[in-house]
Amino acid sequence: MANTYFPRWRAQPDAAAGRIVGPDERLPWPQMIAMGIQHVVAMFGSTVLAPLLMGFDPNLCIFMSGVGTLLFFVMVGGRVPSYLGSSFAFIGLVIAITGYTGHGPNPNIGLALGGIIACGVVYAIIGAIVSAIGTNWIETLLPPVVTGAIVAVIGLNLAPIAVHGVSGSAFESWMALVTVLCVGGVAVFARGMLQRLLILVGLLIAYAIYAVVTNGLGFGKPIDFSIVAQAAWFGMPHFTAPVFNAQAMTLLAPVAVILVAENLGHIKAVSAMTGHNLDRYVGRAFIGDGLATVVSGFAGGTGVTTYAENIGVMAVTKIYSTLVFVVAAVIALILGFSPKFGAVIQTIPGPVLGGVSIVVFGLIAVTGARIWVVNKVDFSDNRNLIVAAVTLVLGAGDFSLKLGSFALGGIGTATFGAIVLYALLRRKPVQDPVV
């Protein structure tokens, strides 16, 4: 790459030959625009779903994902290909803090926003430390057994929320199971990009089935399309001011640990796929992600993070140009100015959303186990065994600790418990006796 803050992106004729297009290269602009659209679509399954599960305005969150991606791009000097979208790591704690019931707008978003901002500040501070001294301390503090357990706990802790949300009636439960089958069918039987978009495509299929069964055949609660007809094509996003509550901020700030693990894994993966060593940008990437989370929180959006969906798209297309993500961010900004688009999202039926939640939360839990498998965590080592076992039960059982008026919920307890327990059980290497 050129010795300038931003790369001098070298133009490539096309991607037809199947060669890798590096972070400091670009395709002709029509192809770049098409790739940007593809990345935005790939993000819908997560960036749209996460805000809905927490009661946030998905229109605003998509808009802020575009703002955050551009901020990240500037912070890393256009060197790290990444799109920032709503993070699932916040869902459990946001629901617990706000008391969100799972339907409609969240009336206590302000409390969550203050905590999200606190998390972003902690995240940025970690980035500043990494920029100064490197990442070795993170890898020591958060080895794969710890990060895998923490990620798995997020999914397990959210499981009761997903199940409870579709247990209101027999019809809702059956439609949730139909949605699970739709997503599973796409995951197993689809190929290419359809398979990569399993959440989005599965949701669309289930949405169509629900519309036929309710609006067409008269079973269950029909979809109200009038809100789409009444919504304007263009309009300003609805911003929300944060509320700074000490307890909410203390509960959400530790989510920065999860975001650090996600972002570090993203950069390591992209480095391996492109052949570009991006380690020197890790600190700046953390700062960029942290600042994007702070900005999103002040506007009324969710905390943001890098996404595996984008790694999947890059792996399939072999196009890693960072300019693609600028295009994707601009498209997200445009969608954020369309209330019509937000109204379409709001018509997603509760049982369909609940069925998707079951799949997504399960995938989060399994991702934790995948971290163990990929990194070959040795569970014959009792330290690893105890750390994983205790962390899973603390999180899945929603074990809470109270100190006066302060309460630490299951995910927070499990996160801190995993880190502290691993450190306490660390053994010094056995030295050979001196003879």
Q: Kindly list the distances between the CA atom of residue 138 and the CA atoms of 65, 80, 104, 127, in Å, as whole numbers in the listed order.
A: 26, 20, 39, 11
86 closest CA partner among 232, 297, 280, 253: 297
- State the distance between the two ends of the chain, measured CA to CA, in whole angstroms: 54
Q: How many residues does the chain have?
A: 435
Alpha helices, DSSP H, located in 99-166: 109-133, 136-141, 144-165
Q: Three-state DSSP class for 351? A: helix
Positive or negative CA dihedral for 233, 85, 195, 156?
negative
Q: How many CB atoms lie within 10 A of CB 414?
A: 28
Contact 382, 373 (CB under 8 A): no
d(C-alpha 277, C-alpha 269), whole Å:
10
Phi (first) and psi of residue 25, to 5 degrees: -125, 170
Render the burial of 51-89: b for 16+ CB within 10 Å, e for the rest: bbbbbbbbbbbbbbbbbbbbbbbebbbbbbbbbbbbbbb
Q: Tokens representing 121?
A: 């500040």
CA 339 to chain centre: 23
pLDDT of the residue at 195: 66
274-326, pLDDT tens digit by residue?
A: 777 888 888 999 999 999 999 999 999 888 888 656 666 676 667 788 888 89
pLDDT of the residue at 268: 75
- Residue 9 contacts by C-beta under 8 Å, 6 or more apart in sequence? 24, 25, 26, 321, 322, 323
Contact 8, 80 (CB under 8 A): no
Rounded to the nearest 10°, the torsion over CA 259, 263, 264, 270 is 160
Q: DSSP of 185-234, one letter per residue?
A: HHHHH--HHHHHTHHHHHHHHHHHHHHIIIIIT--SPPP-THHHHHS-SS
Q: DSSP of 409-420, one letter per residue?
A: -HHHHHHHHHHH
Q: Tokens representing 200?
A: 């989005």
Single-letter residue type at 176: A
- Residue 373 contacts by C-beta under 8 Å, 6 or more apart in sequence? none
pLDDT of the residue at 435: 46
Q: Tokens representing 278?
A: 């991006």
d(C-alpha 409, C-alpha 98), whole Å:
13
Q: Give 264-272's long-range contacts (Cβ < 8 A, gap of 24+).
A: 264/135, 264/138, 266/82, 266/306, 266/307, 266/308, 266/311, 267/80, 269/311, 270/80, 270/81, 270/82, 270/311, 270/314, 270/320
What's the chain's Rg over C-alpha atoms?
22
Q: Tokens representing 394?
A: 């603390």
pLDDT of the residue at 246: 86
Ranges under pLDDT 50 in the chain: 1, 430-432, 434-435
pLDDT of the residue at 127: 93
Specify the DSSP class assigned to residue 4.
S
Q: DSSP of 223-270, one letter per residue?
A: P-THHHHHS-SS-----------HHHHHHHTTHHHHHHHHHHHHHHHH
Among all chains, which residue has been given the structure tokens 């400091």?
A: 24
Q: How many CB atoms lie within 10 A of CB 167?
A: 12
pLDDT of the residue at 46: 66
Query: The whole model's pTM is what?
Result: 0.73
